[in-house]
Structure 1
């Protein structure tokens, strides 16, 4: 039984409206960015009055924080569904593919912005930070397993691999390929995964 089905009709309606608000905020963030997004934009997109919107989220910062938490929950759920018997690189590749599909469907990357204001806002959000640490801890274990199995470079620090991996979730090449190439979504994802794990040189880099 789903969580939603356990709620009263009134609570179900509230939850569905909240999901619609988060969907709208995600689309607007992906298109306009945090600085240009307004609560008026979100209210108009969902078809709500601003007072109704504020019943769900007290501020733009609160709304964006929840949108990012939902993204992290999706990533954690995806990892939880993976077969732990799969290879470490296979698991990392699977999650990156999931993240790119989220982006190509109008979602957000793991690293939402280079804006100091957004970073400061998110680092003050305890729930967001807790989710980030949980996701990072799980991925760090996969990276370490990949090194031990000889699938990842043992000479690179874990943080270098992890942050390079996170950066792939917001690589602008994905948007450029969608806008200017003749590739479909499947081809874009396949090529970007290849670039991430195999590089662009003819030969593998020296170890």
Structure 2
């Protein structure tokens, strides 16, 4: 008989709930204004706690945002594994891009740090983040090579180039331009970007 799991104290539950709220708020702010523009005051204000309380959970903005990026990667991994294995590879790729575009429109997709951002080096040194990127890239990369073998994606394109092209949709400025135009509903924007991504601009 398995021993009963240890009970989590009420205090620990409250700390976990607050940490989750902090990470959620950090993700939202990273989607709204990027790492370099975001401050710890912004995060504390959004959560509704004192900045001193925020620092009890995360010692720096870099540490907090690294944890938030790991959360996003974890959500992406969960989504990837939820897709029906029998789906054609290109349909899985479309589904992943659709998911990332929907997150971007909901401002739940953190904007990638600029090349000279201090967060970039911190992320590269974070094993959980680095391992997550590799795992996600391996899954999507396998679908890309399958789609190329089936002739659905140009086999002359280097798979890594296709991979980065799909990743770029998660921070595509076209999405915000179309949103700001007020000409299209969110799902129309998603469909339009998916169409240009996978079908190109040439008339058929």
> Same-fold call, TM > 0.5?
yes
Show the counterpart of 2:187. 186
Q: Does 1:161 align with 2:162?
A: yes
Task: Quote the Cα distance in structure 2 between the aligned partners of 1:116 and 1:91.
Answer: 33
Higher mean C-alpha deviation, range 29-38 or range 51-60: 29-38
Aligned Cα root-mean-square deviation (Å): 1.5
Specify the SS of the correspondent of 2:175: helix
Higher mean C-alpha deviation, range 44-53 or range 130-139: 44-53
Q: Does 1:23 align with 2:24?
A: yes
Asked which structure has the greater RCO (Cα within 8 Å, sep 6+), the reply is: 2
Q: How does 1:104-183 map to 2 (within 5 A)?
A: 104-109=105-110, 112-117=112-117, 118-183=119-184
Task: Quote the Cα distance in structure 1 between the aligned partners of 2:148 and 2:9.
Answer: 49
Q: TM-score, normalised by structure 2?
A: 0.91
Task: Quote the Cα distance in structure 2 between the aligned partners of 1:11 and 1:115.
Answer: 38
Show the counterpart of 1:70. 71
Structure 2 unmatched ranges of 5 or more: 1-6
Task: Quote the Cα distance in structure 2 between the aligned partners of 1:190 and 1:159.
Answer: 24
Q: TM-score, normalised by structure 1?
A: 0.90
Structure 1 unmatched ranges of 5 or more: 1-5
Task: Quote the Cα distance in structure 1 between the aligned partners of 2:167 and 2:44.
Answer: 31
State whether residues 88 and 151 of structure 1, in contact with CA within 8 Å, keep that contact through their aligned partners in structure 2: no
Higher mean C-alpha deviation, range 6-15 or range 115-124: 6-15
State whether residues 65 and 128 of structure 1, in contact with CA within 8 Å, keep that contact through their aligned partners in structure 2: yes
